[in-house]
Amino acid sequence: MARDITGIVDRSRIDDRSLTIDRYDLLLGLIPTAFVVAFLASRLLSLPFEAAVLGGAAIAALALFDGVFFRPPTGLRGT
């Protein structure tokens, strides 16, 4: 990415970056989020740690299977 000499980033460049987040980025973000939520649930609700991690792993596995097997990417977009 080219940098501006003045170091000032105009608004149009910032707006373009937000459009690059797609469904698969969100799925990849869901995987660690599921484990963080599982850890917090185990601490706040006094659940056994193993049960909470199993729940987080189930949610992460669903996200993984959805992104890889059920609705896989069809090809490269952009450059």
How confident is the model at residue 75, as a pLDDT?
A: 74
pLDDT given for residue 22 in this prediction: 86
Residues 6 or more apart whose CB falls under 8 angstroms from that of 74 comprise: none
- Indicate the pTM of the whole model: 0.67
pLDDT tens series, the chain, 79 aa: 555 566 655 555 555 555 678 888 999 999 999 999 999 999 999 999 999 999 999 999 999 999 999 988 887 765 5
Buried b (16+ CB within 10 A) or exposed e, 53-63: bebbeebbeeb
16: left (phi over 0), alpha (psi -120 to 50) or beta: alpha
- Give the percent of the chain with pLDDT over 70: 71
Q: For residue 6, what pLDDT is reported?
A: 63
